[in-house]
Structure 1
Amino acid sequence: MLREENLRPWRPNSLRSFRLPLLRVWDCYSGSQPDESHRMMARAPRQRLDSAESRKTSLTTHLDHKVWNPTPYISFTVSPTALKELANFRERRGNRGSQTVTVIDPNVRLRIGLPILDVSAEMEHYEIPDPYGNSNQYYTDHYVCVWEITGEEVVGQWPWEDLANDERWYEDIIMPAYHENRRNIALKFSEDKLSGISKMLEEVHRKLLS
């Protein structure tokens, strides 16, 4: 376990950060649907990933949409174009029902300590062939989150039908919500830090005056 993780670390790097949110469109047929607290579980949330073989096999399964076996991954994209194309493809099929877009803040996820994988990079490293024979083009901007999504990571959820009515849905709705969420997180961090300093000073004063 340690050897593979040391060779190819999946644990979050403290220096890594994302500029953009992660996007996911899902419907009633999708796996990993959010619960009332916005938590999303992979369909194999306890699967071990402690060897090169377990990683390669599970990723190969996950990336081939013809195979519906459970994996420890939940798919996202940073590309609004890719999300729109997938949503429109499902609409054209006519049997998927309403769709919902879930947006998460990847930087919150990294701070919690949960992995985010760049699919193209992992395919290259583990020599996973593109199941569609398109030189991995489909997997550009494709990321997977491992095991679960916590409610803390979720920026918001929107019906795709509502977003699709606005040509600038990403710029006018998603990104403002993402930036507001980032500001709220920064404010909370500052307040928590000030509270911690205040408590520390109170303890110092108590010790000096006792």
Structure 2
Amino acid sequence: MSQYQDHVRQTLDGMHPDPGDSLSVDQMRWSTAPVSAPDTATSAAIAEAHALLDRATDAYMALVNLLEDGEHRVVVVASTAQGELTECQELTVIGDAVVIDESESLRVTVTVAAAMVACSTGSVVVRTSAPNGVESARGWVVRNGWLRPLSESRIRQAYTVDAETGAPMDPPPGLEFRQAERVPRPEADGSGESTGRTAPPDNRPPNRRD
């Protein structure tokens, strides 16, 4: 996912795709935008956006590393001042391997970053189909710039109570509700880097790894 993260960072730094090219997601080329050097306020905004994207990437990778064997559907919702964003992703975990679409990972990560903005809120729900056929759901809320686990009762309420009317709803048949795990911050291991099975090489400058 690191190359897509770099594309977003280049865009924030005043880069843009060459409009004369027809490109796939995996074959993007970039050219320098004809803009003047950013002023202090713009530079500060760019740095803040970079920091949010870095933190959201850390949170996303830490969450993926928690997932057990099975098929997983990840749904991320960010409620922002500009409206609500929703992104979904399907991924498969088999032992130490993860089958994942990097473009979907980018969109999910950017949505998590949007939920981390001070005036925004957000949540992440993972629905899992285990190899033994058990279906389960768990969730996290975005609070204070990180993913905080929801209890079994909170995720059950999300599935069985209409958010707009408060009316009860029947839960999906056979679906188990689970207490979500704590998502560890990367600094917890003292290295500032993710060490899980899915972590890509960390190409960020040393002063942006914390």
TM-score class, shorter: under 0.3
Q: Which has the higher strand share?
A: 2
Greater helix share, structure number: 1
Scaled by the length of structure 1, the TM-score of the pair is: 0.24
Larger relative contact order, structure 1 or 2 (CA cutoff 8 Å, min sep 6)? 1
TM-score (normalised: structure 2) = 0.24
